[in-house]
Amino acid sequence: MDSNDISFENLPRAVAHLVSEIAEIKFLVERKEPPIIPVKRIPIDIAEACQIIGKAKPTVYTLVRKRLIPCYKNGKKLYFFEDELLDWISKGKKKTLQEIQSEAEANFRKNSREANVDSNQNLQR
């Protein structure tokens, strides 16, 4: 509500607006939560990237050339972000034998159900 809109006729509406604004401010103060400040992502160079992923520089250059690793290039210099490297590492997880076996069993059950449905449909024709 603008201060220009305040007149005797709309005074109750202006007071209601102020009361709601004060209630909101009071709620924020009582929570005492610090303001949310976005975390700045600071780029790292290839030496730090090598330490994070545990690979030698030539290996990292090969991964960059094959576009297998997330990176940024400005001029001749390569840059990386730590969170992206950690995500890249986590995506390369190899499945355990137990995970592979459970997936195989689930696929077998799914395929056997589909085969049963198909054979039932063929019998009905």
Question: Which of 38, 1, 39 is CA-nearest to residue 18?
Answer: 1
pLDDT in the model for residue 49: 96
User: Which residues share a beta bridge with 80?
Assistant: 44
Mean pLDDT, the chain, integer: 85
pLDDT in the model for residue 119: 63
Taking only the tens place, the pLDDT of each residue in 55-112 is 999 999 999 999 999 999 999 999 999 999 999 999 888 889 998 999 999 998 888 8
Render the burial of 28-58: b for 16+ CB within 10 Å, e for the rest: eeeeeeeeeeeeeeeebebeebbeebeeeee
**Predicted TM-score of the model (pTM):** 0.52
E strand map for 14-109: 72-74, 77-79
